[in-house]
Amino acid sequence: MQLTSSLPERIAVEPTSEKTTAVVELRDVGLCYAGRPPVQVLEGVNLSVRRGSFVSLIGPSGCGKSTLLRIVAGILPVTSGSVLVEGGSPLQAQRAHRFGFVFQDAALLPWRSVQENVELLGELVGLTPDERRDRSSALLSLVGLAGREHLRPSQLSGGMRQRVAIARALAINPSILLMDEPFSAVDEFQRELLNTELLRIWNDQRNSVLFVTHNIEEAVYLSDWVCVMSPNRGRIVELIPVELERPRASEVRVSPEFLALRSHLREVLVR
């Protein structure tokens, strides 16, 4: 298998692109946190994410992965370069509720039931109670939590809480899912299960996903493209296409193609 072959038709991320099919487009992005001294976290970052693709960002701690997600989400304005989300500004996309977020900590409201947590965003965007209930039931089934609607977050395991966070993120049908190390606080066994579940859900929903992780295996298993960021101002050192067949069974993790990609990624990361 070629690790840096030409772009497959269904998925494509290019370092730079003039194409309008990109759902997220970063051009020469720089980000400097104000302070004494100021901290230049990102510089010259170019990335184009095609609609419906699953892209992972991987890199050492502190290289700017979360910063990059915050920029895409319209939470942080860039200090140089430009960002387009669905052809507009990140802030416009945020206001149009185009994003779903999942973080390391599920951050559920403890006084609300599972179902009420999932319905929260629907309330904010004005869905009717019936619409909210239909959607939350469907999503809770999708994430494997049917029958647990009335439990409180404190009655769930860490993995179950992350499933609720995923259902909540999908509740307003976002076109872009931003996930920042969503499974890093669960054990290895749970992580594998959640990875498989996430792919099943993504297969059903087909949102575009930007997924931040430290975990090489997770990045390869989930992604169409793995984007390796350098500790040097977040520069993208390599974009690695993952051409493993979809849908991907968990067993793919022991295939020769998977193992080759994993060791290549490890080399790039320690280079």
Ligand X SMILES: Nc1ncnc2c1ncn2[C@@H]1O[C@H](COP(=O)(O)OP(=O)(O)O)[C@@H](O)[C@H]1O
* Binding residues vs Mg ion (CB under 5 A): 66
Q: Return the amino acid letter for 183.
A: F
Task: Candidates 64, 90, 153, 159: give the one binding ligand X (CB under 6 A).
Answer: 64
Q: 5 vs 61, which CB is nearer to Mg ion?
A: 61
| 195, two tokens | 């990875």
CB 243: neighbour CB atoms within 10 A? Answer: 14
Phi, psi angles (nearest 5°) of residue 239: -110, 120
Q: Closer CB to ligand X, residue 67 or residue 115?
A: 67
Q: Is 77 in the site for ligand X (CB under 6 A)?
A: no
Does 113 sit near ligand X (CB under 6 A)? no
Pick the piece of the chain touching ligand X (CB under 6 A) from 59-67, 142-150, 187-195, 200-208. 59-67
33 touches ligand X by CB under 6 A: yes
- Going by C-alpha positions, the residue among 211, 146, 203 that lies closest to residue 177 is 211
User: Amino acid letter at 247?
Assistant: P
From ligand X, Mg ion, none, interface partner of 115 (C-beta below 5 to 8 A by class): none
Select from 65-73, 144-152, 161-169, 187-195 the region that touches ligand X (CB under 6 A).
Answer: 65-73
The residue within the footprint of ligand X, chosen from 65, 132, 191, 248 (CB under 6 A), is 65
Pair 158, 185: CB distance under 8 Å: yes
Closest CB to ligand X among residues 64, 241:
64
Specify whether the CB–CB gap between 165 and 182 falls below 8 A. Answer: yes
3-state secondary structure of 250: helix
Residues 117, 84: Cα–Cα separation, whole Å: 30
**Residues near ligand X (CB under 6 A):** 33, 35, 39, 41, 59, 61-67
